[in-house]
Amino acid sequence: MLGLSGFAGGRLQLALGEDCMSVRRIAVIGHSGAGKSSCLTALGIDPKEADMDAVLGTTTSPPLEKALNWLSDGVPAFSILVVSNHEQMLVAMRQAKLDGKYPNQFSAVCFVYLRKPKDQLQVHLGLPSADGRNRDKASQRYTLDNYERFDTLFTQLADRIVDCSGRTVESVAGDFSGLVQPPSGEGMRKGCR
């Protein structure tokens, strides 16, 4: 696991190194309100196409295989995607990764955890989401009440962690800006492993 904020300039691509060439996609994970979808928007990526919730839906947890296939091979081939916070799917994903299952899918994706401290997350949960909607109080409470459990889950799933403490969406999105490539079927030139 590699924390990214300690690198010169805080730039993600500087932190990744040359061993990152084989990964085609970045899968952004983190709590609701951490800025995942906002980063997509700041990078000029349409969340309706690159956010798992928008593509696979929010009513039920997507099956593990469907989620992994969308992350590793989905169309369009955006280089940065946002992963849903369905706990059942995340737990299955973490276990499959730890057990060495689905090596082709996991080797094509780098999971980057946007870690925002709980006190800052509480403030951001009260703000409109990237699509302009206000989060209901029950969802905000659930996120805060289960912060530690999800933090552990995200940390165990992550290949890289971005410390979002006191950072703006634009600053965090800037970490990814050199990795963004339009859908072309070519994937990314840089990734992380």
Label residue 63 by pLDDT band (50, 70, 90).
Answer: very high
Question: Yes or no: is domain 2-179 CATH 1.20.120.330?
Answer: no
Q: What is the pLDDT of residue 77?
A: 61
Q: pLDDT over 70 for what percent of the chain? A: 77
Q: What pTM does this model have?
A: 0.81
Judge if the upstream peptide bond of residue 103 is cis by omega within 30 degrees of 0: no
Q: Is the pLDDT of residue 3 over 70?
A: no
Least confident of 35-49, 116-130, 173-187: 173-187
Q: Is the pLDDT of residue 107 over 70?
A: yes
Q: What is the pLDDT of residue 151?
A: 97
Q: Residue 182: name the closest of 77, 84, 107, 100 by CA.
A: 77
Q: Residue 157: name the closest of 64, 66, 22, 30 by CA.
A: 30
Q: What is the pLDDT of residue 192?
A: 36
Q: Is the pLDDT of residue 170 over 60?
A: yes
Label residue 57 by pLDDT band (50, 70, 90).
Answer: confident
CA–CA dist 36, 40 (Å, integer): 7
Task: Give the mean model confidence (pLDDT) for residues 32-59.
Answer: 88
Q: What is the pLDDT of residue 181?
A: 52
10 Å CB burial of residue 164 (0-12, 13-18, 19+) is buried
List, for residues 147-163, the tens digit of each pLDDT value. 999 999 999 999 999 99
Helix axes 87-98, 64-73, angle to 10 degrees: 70
